[in-house]
Amino acid sequence: MEYLSRKQKMKKISRGFKMVEIEIDEDACVGCGSCVDDCPNNVYQMNEETWKTTVVNADDCMACLSCHEICPSQAMTHRDIHVAKRLYIDRKVNDVLEKII
């Protein structure tokens, strides 16, 4: 049996799927580096000059959204991902969420 690292496994699983596109809002980024610390696949790196996060390995993103979770300023947007994997969805909350202008 061939040995695959976690990264390779994720790549294998994601083969055939569309790559995730990550957009960083540099104005929003506060430069805390939490996404760099938390990303299991090292997708992010700090830009040494501007001290804002940059996407260096978008191909390795497995769309776990840990970065989104830890980011204090919601600076990243992931495109083309399937987010409705939650076990429990509160309809009352969703109703309010949709209506926030």
Token pair for 66: 């840990």
Q: Which residues contact 51 (CB under 8 A, 6 or more apart)?
A: 31
Residues 36-95 that bind another protein (CB under 8 A): 51, 68-70, 72-75, 86, 88-90, 92-94
HEC string for 69-92: HHCCCCCEEEECCCCCCCCCCCHH
By CB under 8 A, name the one of 12, 28, 59, 79 that touches another protein.
28
Binding status of residue 96 toward another protein by CB under 8 A: yes
- Residue whose C-alpha is closest to residue 36's, from 14, 1, 66, 7: 66
Residue 1 or 89: the one with the smaller Cβ distance to another protein is 89
Residue 1 or 101: the one with the smaller Cβ distance to another protein is 101
Q: Which residues bind another protein (CB under 8 A)?
A: 25, 27-28, 30-34, 51, 68-70, 72-75, 86, 88-90, 92-94, 96-97, 99-101
